[in-house]
Amino acid sequence: MVKRSIVLGYFKNLEASALIVNGVLQDFFIESDIPAPGQIYRATVDRPIKGQGGYFLKTPDGSAFLRQGKGLAQGSHVLVQVSGFAESGKAMPVSRKILLKSRYVIVTPENPGLNISRQIKNENRREELVALIRSNLDDFKEGLILRSSCQNAADEEILDDTEEMLSLAEKIYSNHSSEQGLILEADKPHTLAWREWSENADIFSESGSFETFGVLDLLEQLKSERVETNDGHYFVETTKACATVDINTGSDTSPAAALKANLAAAHDLPRQLRLRGIGGQIIIDPAPISKKDRKIFDQALRIAFRKDTVETNIVGWTAMGLIEIQRARVRSSWR
């Protein structure tokens, strides 16, 4: 039987939340002192970046970088949302694609239409959800995505959540002020836990819960660059330019040892990167394997990251037998 626990508390005087499954720390949110993904600004266009098609913007919290923009006049105002954590010394990345996320629904004001999460496989349930929205909220103009958490949720909870988020979208887009400013703050860790960890779990929020349920000990393990697996170990190290993952075999000296070590690391790596708040460019140096076994490892890696909540692109193998990965910077590095 799977035992899931959500622990709400504080770490280093910052609001934090932890998800523990069968004694293993699976996810961790911690408050950040810099603008976090989801935050919405009315920003002022500063200047274009020649040759890149982007713009630097001004916000109350510093400079922002809009990667894709066209025809924006200097000094004009534009609604943008923080899309990731900024690297040290760089402008925060923002997007004009606004997403308003809640527990059961994502509102996409610029992309109308009703969509159901692909993770909901039951066709009858999909039809029920469409009918629920159409019969109760037929006049909405924004786009709606019903999340996988709607699978077993009560209709009333889904409708309440949807109405609240549609109201929020209307409020944001009906504000026609010409002043730059913060429009919507990002969700904090306790709200993120409610929003993202929707499966049944025991919830603990009493003072000192992090100590009581061993969260501090689990976090302490993440300070080590060495990660042990059943079939070997690997090192996760960060530099200014990228993060590196070096996979090694253990005491097993059989011909299959390298492949087993690589597969064990592939299964665990998304969790480690998520907990450590690592994003950007990542280079994996697998234990030496044949080209035939590379396909097996590659497939295992893609399956593991496909299940992860952080968008990750596996670019491919280099001529030196390394794997290049590009991962969104949507988690803060707290270590």
pLDDT at 52: 73
pLDDT at 220: 95
List own/partner pairs for 209-218 with CB under 8 A and 24 or more apart. 209/7, 209/8, 209/9, 210/7, 210/9, 210/10, 210/11, 210/16, 210/18, 213/5, 213/7, 213/18, 213/20, 215/7, 215/9, 215/11, 215/18, 215/20, 215/25, 216/11, 218/18, 218/20, 218/25
Helix 291-306 vs helix 257-276: crossing angle, to nearest 10? 30
pLDDT at 253: 83
Find the radius of gyration of the CA atoms of the chain: 22
pLDDT at 139: 83
Q: What is the pTM of this model?
A: 0.92
pLDDT in tens, the chain (335 residues): 789 999 999 999 999 999 999 999 999 999 999 999 999 999 999 999 887 779 999 999 999 999 877 789 999 999 999 999 998 889 999 999 999 999 999 999 989 999 999 999 999 999 999 999 999 997 889 999 999 999 999 999 999 999 999 999 999 998 878 889 999 999 999 999 999 999 999 999 999 999 999 999 999 999 999 999 999 999 999 998 899 999 999 888 898 999 999 999 999 999 999 999 999 999 999 999 999 999 999 999 999 999 999 999 999 999 999 999 999 999 988 87
Read off the DSSP letter of residue 58: E
Q: What is the pLDDT of residues 283-300, one digit of tens each?
A: 999 999 999 999 999 999
Task: Answer yes or no: are the C-beta atoms of 130 and 112 closer than 8 Å.
Answer: no
